[in-house]
């Protein structure tokens, strides 16, 4: 497919166009990372903290139940 001719093509080289495209992609990537950091990560951290807290409570409850069961079994035997 032949290239289209344009009036201003002589003033912009392929290198200038590639640099402009890379600059635009970099700006889009920075915006995407900022969006993830500001909107998504706080929710993920909050959910992980909730899971860790539940895990700590359940682990403590299991240890207390195990110790209580062991004491009851020793007293019954």
54 vs 24: CA distance, rounded Å: 44
Rg (CA), the chain: 31
Helix (H) / strand (E) containing 29: helix 14-35
Q: Per residue in 2-61, pLDDT tens?
A: 566 666 666 778 888 899 999 999 999 999 999 999 998 999 999 999 999 999 999 999
Q: What are 49's two structure tokens? A: 């903290």
pLDDT at position 16, please?
Answer: 86
Instruction: Flag whether the pTM goes above 0.85.
Output: no
């Amino acid at each position: 497919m032949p290239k289209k001719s344009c009036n201003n093509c002589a003033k912009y080289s392929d290198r200038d166009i590639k640099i402009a495209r890379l600059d635009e992609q970099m700006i889009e990537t920075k915006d995407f990372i900022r969006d993830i950091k500001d909107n998504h990560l706080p929710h993920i951290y909050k959910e992980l903290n909730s899971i860790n807290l539940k895990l700590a409570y359940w682990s403590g409850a299991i240890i207390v139940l195990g110790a209580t069961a062991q004491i009851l079994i020793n007293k019954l035997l």
